[in-house]
Amino acid sequence: MPIRLLIVDDHVLVREGLRLSFAGTDVQVVAEAVNGEAAFAELMRHAIDVALVDVRMPGSDGFRLLELVRQAGLKLPVALMHTVNDGSENVRRSRSLGAVGLLPKGLGRDELIGAIRQVHAGESLWEMWESEPSSMSRVETICQSGCLPNGA
């Protein structure tokens, strides 16, 4: 059974690239949205298993979507994506609003698909930070290099 995914990003090229990344896998993109409010409307129209959501978008951002999901009492795993050096504040805010993880947009295809499968299986993505003695500083270190893995 495919994993039904909602992609939320204000950049068309990012959404198209993500959609292409999931082609031929068990992850099926069933809906896309340009911001948090539009994403919430898509959640009401489609059966979604996981949402992959940009943090920063004009109008209503990823945090707004998390607030709407929480207010509606939905049990949807939402993984947020980020590109800028927002440091540990985004981690704290994401966790407090119920996100299952905060992913750098620079992840490779296999890493991203693995993360979506992990979330779909009911696992959190926060363990990668918790396994480090100073998890917040690890996030900040990754983000200082543009949030790309291995300082790329």
Domains plus CATH for the chain?
Answer: 3-151 (3.40.50.2300)
pTM above 0.85, yes or no: no
CA torsion, points 25, 27, 32, 37, in degrees to nearest 10?
-160
Collapsed DSSP state (helix, strand, coil) of residue 47: coil
Per-residue model confidence as pLDDT tens for the chain (152 residues): 999 999 999 999 999 999 999 999 999 999 999 999 999 999 999 999 999 999 889 999 899 999 999 999 998 888 888 765 556 777 888 888 989 988 888 889 999 999 999 999 999 988 765 654 343 444 433 333 333 333 33
What is the rounded CA–CA span in Å between residue 14 and residue 112? 14
Specify whether the CB–CB gap between 50 and 120 falls below 8 A.
yes
